[in-house]
Amino acid sequence: MFALQKIFALLLAIAIGISGCSTVSNATKPNQLAIGVLGEPSTFNPVLNNVATAFFEYTSEGLVGTNGKGEIEPALAESWQIDGNTITFTMRPNLKWSDGAPLTVDDVEFSFNEVYLNPKIPNNAQDSLKIGKAEKLPTIKKIDDSHIAITTPEPFAPALRTIGGQGIIPAHKLRSFINATEKYTEQQEYKDKSGKTQTKEIEKERPKFMGAWGINTKPSELVSNGMYRLVSYTPGERLIFERNPYYWRKDEQGRQLPYLDRVVWQITESTDNTLMQFRSGNIDTYGVGPEFFSLLKKEEKKGNFTITNAGPSSGTTFLAFNLNKGSRDGKPLIDPVKSRWFNNVKFRQAVAYAIDRPRMINNLYRGLGEVQNSPISFGTPYYLKEGLKSYDYDLAKSKQLLQEAGFKYKGATLFDDQDNAVNFNLITNSGNKIREALGTQVQQDLEKLGMKVNFNAVAFPLLVDKLDKALDWDAHIIGFTGGIEPQDGANFWLAEGRSHVFNQKPSKEEKQLTGQEVAPWEKEINDLYIKGAQELDEAKRREIYNQTQRITQENLPCIYLVNSLSLLAARNKVQGLQPTNLGSLWNLYRISITQ
**Residues paired with 265 in a beta bridge:** 35, 239
Query: What is the pLDDT averaged over residues 454-478?
Result: 93
- Under 8 Å CB-to-CB from 171, ≥6 apart: which residues? 106, 107, 110, 111, 114
Question: Whose CA is closest to 395, among 438, 356, 342?
Answer: 356
Distance of CA 241 to the CA centre of its chain: 22
Residues 3 and 574 sit within 8 Å (Cβ to Cβ): no
Q: Report yes or no on 291 lying in a domain.
A: no
Q: Report yes or no on 177 lying in a domain.
A: yes
- CA-based R_g, the chain, Å: 24
Q: Are residues 420 and 532 in the same domain?
A: yes
Q: Are residues 272 and 322 in the same domain?
A: no
Return the exposure string of 485-503: e unless at least 16 CB atoms fall within 10 Å of the residue's CB, then b: bbbbbbbbbbbebbbbbbb
Query: What is the pLDDT averaged over residues 159-173?
Result: 94
Q: Are residues 102 and 11 in the same domain?
A: yes
Residues 573 and 309 sit within 8 Å (Cβ to Cβ): no
Q: What CATH number should be reported for the domain holding residue 206? A: 3.40.190.10
Confidence bin at 189 (pLDDT 50/70/90): low
Number of H helices, E strands in the chain: 16, 27
Q: What is the pLDDT of residue 22?
A: 35
Q: Are residues 409 and 480 in the same domain?
A: yes
Q: Please tell me the least confidently modeled range out of 204-208, 347-351, 386-390.
A: 204-208
Residues 570 and 552 sit within 8 Å (Cβ to Cβ): no
What mean pLDDT, rounded, does the chain reach?
89
Residues 311 and 378 sit within 8 Å (Cβ to Cβ): yes
Which H, E and C letters describe 199-218, residue by residue?
EEEEEEEEEHHHHCCCCCCC
Query: What is the pLDDT averaged over residues 228-235?
Result: 96
Q: What CATH number should be reported for the domain holding residue 430? A: 3.10.105.10
Dump pLDDT digits (tens) for 376-401. Answer: 988 788 889 888 999 999 999 999 99
Query: What is the pLDDT averaged over residues 229-255?
Result: 96
Q: Are residues 355 and 278 in the same domain?
A: no
Alpha-carbon distance 240 to 267, whole Å? 11
Q: Are residues 271 and 396 in the same domain?
A: no
Q: What is the pLDDT of residue 190?
A: 67
DSSP letter assigned to residue 146: S
DSSP letter assigned to residue 92: P
Alpha-carbon distance 216 to 449, whole Å? 48
Q: Report yes or no on 299 lying in a domain.
A: no
Residues 114 and 108 sit within 8 Å (Cβ to Cβ): no
Amino acid code (one letter) for 496: E
Structural domain total, the chain: 2
Q: Are residues 145 and 83 in the same domain?
A: yes
Q: Report yes or no on 306 lying in a domain.
A: no
Q: 591: how many CB neighbours lie within 10 A of its CB?
A: 21
Q: Are residues 272 and 387 in the same domain?
A: no
Distance of CA 288 to the CA centre of its chain: 20
What is the residue range of 345's domain? 316-564
Distance of CA 453 to the CA centre of its chain: 26
Distance of CA 130 to the CA centre of its chain: 19
Question: Whose CA is closest to 45, among 34, 30, 55?
Answer: 55
More confident residue, 59 or 272: 59
Dump pLDDT digits (tens) for 154-165. Answer: 999 999 988 999
The DSSP secondary structure of 4-21, one letter per residue, reads GGG-SS----------GG
Q: Are residues 33 and 182 in the same domain?
A: yes
- At CA 115, angle to CA 109 and CA 119, rounded to 5? 125
Q: Determine if the pTM surpasses 0.75.
A: no
Alpha-carbon distance 38 to 142, whole Å? 41
Q: Are residues 503 and 584 in the same domain?
A: no
pLDDT at 27 over 50: no
Query: What is the pLDDT averaged over residues 552-577?
Result: 95
pLDDT at 440 over 80: yes
Q: Are residues 407 and 357 in the same domain?
A: yes
Q: Report yes or no on 295 lying in a domain.
A: no
Alpha-carbon distance 369 to 466, whole Å? 29
Q: Are residues 203 and 325 in the same domain?
A: no
- Under 8 Å CB-to-CB from 563, ≥6 apart: which residues? 312, 313, 315, 316, 317, 369, 370, 371, 372, 378
Q: What is the pLDDT of residue 257?
A: 97
pLDDT at 18 over 60: no
- Under 8 Å CB-to-CB from 444, ≥6 apart: which residues? none
